[in-house]
Structure 1
Amino acid sequence: MEKDIQKIEEFFYRNHKQVNNPIIKSFLLDSQNLYLVQKAILYPTDINKKLVDESFQSHYMNVRKTKYVSNLIYFFSLDFDKKRRRLQNRTLLVLDKGLSKDGGTTAKELIEDTSNEKKLNHIVGEGLLDNIGDEKLFNSLKKLTVKQLQILEMIYVKEFSIKEIAQTLQTTPQNISNLHRNALNKLNNTLKKRGE
């Protein structure tokens, strides 16, 4: 028994470079494979060598398959991530870009503000909504966006010119005119619907 252990240790010592190979190490970690190798060292018959060889080939094929699948997953995930980023960059949601070629109204300005009345009064200031006595007009004004309300207040309450409003809001006079026109059209349409 002690001679057998010594013979096995000598074999592994002589072949320590090959045994340190990661594939061989993983092969020897399996107790059944280790038993086959020890048996082939102690009794070096053709059958024992053939059993070790077949077992190692099977192990090696499994390692190769695992490596192949691992690489597939890695490269497909990289490719998927590139495609996802490319798609995201193509379909950006830009709310502050003009809807028409000449700039004009933006998608952000067309989104109806559903915040409460206090927020509107705070942003617009106490002026336009406080000076409206007609309930229909008041409710119609609340349907406008905050920017449209700001522009109407600056024009009709504070008596700013279009250029002054454009400078204050850091935009073009044409954009202010478009917003003013859109606000008046929206008010007109809302009042017509309520009048019917």
Structure 2
Amino acid sequence: MEKDNQKIEEFFYRNNKQVNNPIIKSFLSDSKNLYLVQKAILYPTDRNKKLVDESFQSHYKNVRKIKYVSNLIYFFSLDFDKKRRRLQNRTLLILDKGLSEEGGTTAKEQIEDASNEKEFENIVGERLLDNIEDEQLLKSLQKLTVKQLQILEMIYVKELSIKEIAQILQTTPQNISNLHRKALNKLNNTLRKKEE
């Protein structure tokens, strides 16, 4: 028995490099496979060698299948994450960007807010466009967005403050001030172009 153990130890010592291979280590970690290898070392018949070879081939195929499936899972999850991020970034709304190169009107300003129209009509009464006699100014005013026109009417016809307008339109005073400034700049630019 001791002689058999010594023979097995000598074999593993001589083939130390191959035995330390991760696939062979995992193969030998199974007690059935270790028994087959020990049997083939002690009794090196063709049948014993063939049993070890068949067992190792089966083990190696299983290792490759597991490796392949784990790689598939890993790379599919990376691809899925990339596609999800790309789709998420593609569908972002950018409403504050100017519609033209000059800036001016934004997409957000083009969206009409129907909830405030009735309240606005009750407050304004007479309209800004009804009081304009200059044809160029009237055409320039008609090019403004609905919201910009509402703000101008509230400021110049109804003489409301920026804070009051912000409360009526349910927004911030800064937003009203920005829309007012943009409306005036747009009117100024339109009138200058017509003069030239």
**Identity within the alignment, %:** 69
Counterpart in the other structure of 1:93? 93
Relative distance call for 1:90 and 1:159 in structure 2 (3 A) is closer
Aligned-partner Cα distance in 2 for 1:15–1:25: 12
Given that 2:96 and 2:106 are in contact with CA atoms closer than 8 Å, whether structure 1 keeps it comes out as no
User: Does residue 106 of structure 1 match 2:102?
Assistant: no
Relative distance call for 1:92 and 1:106 in structure 2 (3 A) is same
User: Does residue 157 of structure 1 match 2:165?
Assistant: no
Q: How does 1:32-51 map to 2 (within 5 A)?
A: 32-51=32-51
Counterpart in the other structure of 1:169? 177
Counterpart in the other structure of 1:118? none
Given that 2:95 and 2:106 are in contact with CA atoms closer than 8 Å, whether structure 1 keeps it comes out as no
Aligned-partner Cα distance in 1 for 2:15–2:161: 94
Aligned-partner Cα distance in 2 for 1:167–1:23: 67
* Matched letter for residue 169 of structure 1: S
TM-score (norm 2): 0.57
Q: How does 1:176-195 map to 2 (within 5 A)?
A: none
Counterpart in the other structure of 2:8? 8
Relative distance call for 1:167 and 1:17 in structure 2 (3 A) is closer
Relative distance call for 1:112 and 1:50 in structure 2 (3 A) is farther
Counterpart in the other structure of 1:63? 63
Relative distance call for 1:24 and 1:172 in structure 2 (3 A) is farther
Relative distance call for 1:92 and 1:7 in structure 2 (3 A) is same
Given that 1:105 and 1:175 are in contact with CA atoms closer than 8 Å, whether structure 2 keeps it comes out as no
Following TM superposition, where does structure 1 have runs of at least 4 consecutive aligned residues deviating by more than 4 angstroms?
A: 107-113, 151-154, 165-168, 174-178
Relative distance call for 1:44 and 1:152 in structure 2 (3 A) is same
Q: How does 1:22-41 map to 2 (within 5 A)?
A: 22-41=22-41
Structure 1: where are the runs of 5+ without partners? 114-135, 142-146, 179-196
Structure 2: where are the runs of 5+ without partners? 124-146, 164-172, 187-196
Farther-moved stretch of structure 1 (30-39 vs 77-86)? 77-86
The alignment covers a number of residue pairs equal to: 143
TM-score (norm 1): 0.57
Deviation at 1:108, TM superposition (A): 10
Given that 2:7 and 2:42 are in contact with CA atoms closer than 8 Å, whether structure 1 keeps it comes out as yes
Given that 1:33 and 1:52 are in contact with CA atoms closer than 8 Å, whether structure 2 keeps it comes out as yes
Root-mean-square deviation (CA), in Å?
3.9
Deviation at 1:7, TM superposition (A): 1.0
